[in-house]
């Protein structure tokens, strides 16, 4: 009998322990926020797979879609009992939540790490408690790779490369291959895999173009408000911005507002080219209108992959360490296909 099958037999006892700890923690768990999934244990629940989910926060439209994709699969109908934690952009909240999941003896921990550093200790605690950890979206930097079971998410570096290539394509179309191109970058949360990967991938392509001059990399924290604030500052500081590469659609919405306020226009026929990431519906409409030149998809639908991984593990099957979700680039020419699709 393999380890996961033993865990199945052991689940009744885990439930008794979990019920006791949940009763004790009932008051404290509220502090994790309104997204905390409230539920009650019943004797019928003993066969459910208990999953503790710690999400980064609710900073972006993409994040909401990612949360919904997890909530959609971790239902009682599917055989799960989910304990959800919204970390509100704070690593300390995620660490606290993971420790709470460990003390509740959940069957699996699923979490999207806000940044890559600082997880070694708490993930060792999870390993010592024999709880598999499945990372979604972002990665962790560890000495010991055995501290997590596997990861599901985007190839962020490739997203960055696709952004660079989309820009090169557009500039070629405009016949601007020899012109000096002044670029500003709006970056997401510092230390996050998405920020690091997208910056590295874009730089890789930028280095091949001597005429691309990166004026500044600003920290827009993946939010509309900060994206707008930083773009206003950049427009004030540099009078000759040709391109904005914004690492998510929320910051792009803010940047577009700032561009408009400054009396400038965005798009291939305007003053500033805008390249964005995520490809949420609201942004794809702006691709269609020509305000965003290219939007690099970041696929939020990761729940179904995590479900498949857990089901395999429940059967004692081995799972691959890395699982990449499929992603596309949207430009005016192909965006209609996706806007026609239902959510």
Rounded to whole angstroms, what are the CA distances from 182 to 240, 270, 334? 7, 15, 27
Q: What is the C-alpha to C-alpha distance for residues 48 and 95, in angstroms, rounded to an integer? A: 24
CA distance 177 to 159: 22
Binds ligand AHR (CB under 6 A): choice among 15, 22, 53, 59 = 59
Q: Does 194 bind ligand AHR (CB under 6 A)?
A: yes
Can you list the alpha helix ranges (DSSP code H) found in 262-331?
A: 281-289, 303-314
Q: Please say whether the beta carbons of 139 and 324 come within 8 A.
A: no
Q: Are 83 and 106 in contact (CB under 8 A)?
A: yes
C-beta of 102 vs 275, nearer to ligand AHR:
275
Residue 196 phi/psi, 5-degree rounding, is -65, -50
CB 241 within 8 A of CB 185: no
Interface mask toward ligand AHR for 6-45; x: CB under 6 A: ----------------------------------------
Q: Which is nearer to ligand AHR, 280 or 310 (CB)?
A: 280
Distance of alpha carbon 138 from alpha carbon 126, whole angstroms = 18
Give whichever of 107 and 278 is closer to ligand AHR, judged by the CB atom: 278
User: How far apart (Å, rounded) are the C-alpha atoms in residues 295 and 12?
Assistant: 48
Q: Please name which of 264, 200, 256, 201 lies closest in space to residue 227, comparing C-alpha atoms.
A: 256
81, 119, 222, 330: which one binds ligand AHR (CB under 6 A): 222
Helices (H) and strands (E) in the chain, counts: 11, 12
Task: Please say which residue, 138 or 323, places its beta carbon nearer to ligand AHR.
Answer: 138
Residue the block writes with tokens 């998510």? 248
Q: Which is nearer to ligand AHR, 131 or 166 (CB)?
A: 166
| Distance in Å, CB of 66 to ligand AHR, minimum | 8
Residue closest to 106 by CA, chosen among 172, 22, 14: 14
Minimum gap (Å) between residue 334 Cβ and ligand AHR: 20
By beta-carbon proximity to ligand AHR, the closer residue of 151 and 277 is 277
* Footprint of ligand AHR on 155-174 (CB under 6 A): none
Which is nearest to 36 in space by CA: 120, 79, 93, 105? 93
| Closest CB to ligand AHR among residues 149, 299 | 299
Examine residue 70 and tell whether it contacts ligand AHR (CB under 6 A).
Answer: no
User: Is position 63 an interface residue for ligand AHR (rule: CB under 6 A)?
Assistant: yes
Q: Which range in 2-10, 54-62, 70-78, 255-263 contacts ligand AHR by CB under 6 A?
A: 54-62
In whole angstroms, the minimum distance from the beta carbon of 170 to ligand AHR comes to 21
Strand partners, 295: 276, 330
List the one residue from 62, 80, 148, 212 that touches ligand AHR (CB under 6 A).
62
Q: Which two tokens stand for residue 256?
A: 């577009």
**Minimum distance between the CB of residue 23 and ligand AHR, rounded to whole angstroms?**
34
Say which residues have a Cβ less than 8 Å from residue 103's Cβ, sequence separation at least 6: 21, 25
Among 69, 86, 149, 248, interactor with ligand AHR by CB under 6 A = 248
The site for ligand AHR, by CB under 6 A, has a size of 12
3-state secondary structure of 174: coil
Of the candidate residues 137, 221, 230, 297, the single one contacting ligand AHR (CB under 6 A): 137
Q: Of these, 278, 295, 297, 307, which contacts ligand AHR (CB under 6 A)? A: 278
Residues that bind ligand AHR (CB under 6 A): 59-60, 62-63, 137-138, 194, 222, 248, 277-278, 298
């Amino acid at each position: 009998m393999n380890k996961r099958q033993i865990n199945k037999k052991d689940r009744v006892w885990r439930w008794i322990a979990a019920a006791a700890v949940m009763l004790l923690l009932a008051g404290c768990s509220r502090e994790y926020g309104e997204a905390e999934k409230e539920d009650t244990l019943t004797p019928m629940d003993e066969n459910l797979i208990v999953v503790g989910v710690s999400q980064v926060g609710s900073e972006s439209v993409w994040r909401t879609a990612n949360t919904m994709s997890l909530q959609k699969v971790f239902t009682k109908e599917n055989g799960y009992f989910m304990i959800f934690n919204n970390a509100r952009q704070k690593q300390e909240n995620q660490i606290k939540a993971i420790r709470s999941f460990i003390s509740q003896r959940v069957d699996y921990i699923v979490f999207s790490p806000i940044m890559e550093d600082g997880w070694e200790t708490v993930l060792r605690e999870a390993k010592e408690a024999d709880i598999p950890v499945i990372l979604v979206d972002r990665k962790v930097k560890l000495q010991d790779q055995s501290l997590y079971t596997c990861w599901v998410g985007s190839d962020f570096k490739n997203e960055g490369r696709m952004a660079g290539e989309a820009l090169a394509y557009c500039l070629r179309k405009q016949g601007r291959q020899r012109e000096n191109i002044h670029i500003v970058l709006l970056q997401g949360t510092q230390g996050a895999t998405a920020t690091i990967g997208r910056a590295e991938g874009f730089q890789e392509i930028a280095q091949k173009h001597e005429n691309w001059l990166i004026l500044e990399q600003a920290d827009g924290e993946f939010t509309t408000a900060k994206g707008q604030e930083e773009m206003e500052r950049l427009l004030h500081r540099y009078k000759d911005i040709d391109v904005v590469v914004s690492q998510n659609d929320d910051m792009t919405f803010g940047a577009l507002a700032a561009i408009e306020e400054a009396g400038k226009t965005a798009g291939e026929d305007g003053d500033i080219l805008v390249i964005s990431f995520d490809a949420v519906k609201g942004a794809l409409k702006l691709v269609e209108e020509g305000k965003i030149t290219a939007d690099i998809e970041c696929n939020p639908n990761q729940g179904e992959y995590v479900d498949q991984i857990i089901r395999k593990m429940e059967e004692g099957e081995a799972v691959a360490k890395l699982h990449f979700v499929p992603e596309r680039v949207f430009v005016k020419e192909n965006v209609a296909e996706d806007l026609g699709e239902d959510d």
